[in-house]
């Protein structure tokens, strides 16, 4: 079944540890995105990539890094996790075609940093 997968589903992490959240899509979409969702703040864009080999910063990029080595994968890395990075992380993708082209979201990763 086509779509976006994320791993892990949930994780509890000690502060200071390094963590990579994985995201893979099989729809051959050009663009991919990472969001964090916090209560009362909605979805906020962390980083994005409009095509393989390029990335850009979103609204809240500090403390996170991404890479886009190929079309399908877009990992998000927390180099040294802090408690304020406790959140639900969603990966999304889109064709970047304009019009009613929407973003499709993965199931999310619930991350707790202690």
What residue ranges bind other proteins (CB under 8 A)?
Answer: 31, 33, 35, 40-45, 48, 50, 58-59, 90, 94, 96, 98-100, 102-108
Cα distance between residue 1 and residue 100, in whole Å: 22
Considering the complex, state which of residue 37 and residue 65 has its C-beta at the smaller distance from other proteins.
Answer: 37
Question: Comparing C-alpha atoms, which of 85, 86, 68, 66 is closest to residue 77?
Answer: 66
Shortest separation between residue 23's beta carbon and other proteins, angstroms: 12
Considering the complex, state which of residue 51 and residue 80 has its C-beta at the smaller distance from other proteins.
Answer: 51
How does DSSP classify residue 73? B
Considering the complex, state which of residue 24 and residue 94 has its C-beta at the smaller distance from other proteins.
Answer: 94
Cα distance between residue 78 and residue 94, in whole Å: 24
């Amino acid at each position: 079944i086509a779509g976006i997968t994320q791993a892990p589903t949930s994780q509890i992490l000690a502060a200071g540890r390094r963590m990579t959240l994985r995201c893979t899509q099989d729809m051959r979409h050009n663009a991919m995105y990472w969001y964090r969702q916090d209560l009362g703040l909605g979805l906020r864009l962390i980083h994005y990539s409009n095509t393989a080999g390029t990335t850009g910063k979103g609204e809240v990029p500090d403390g996170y890094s991404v890479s886009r080595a190929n079309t399908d994968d877009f990992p998000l890395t927390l180099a040294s996790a802090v408690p304020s990075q406790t959140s639900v992380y969603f990966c999304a993708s889109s064709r970047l075609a304009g019009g009613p082209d929407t973003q499709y979201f993965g199931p999310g990763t619930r991350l707790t940093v202690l």
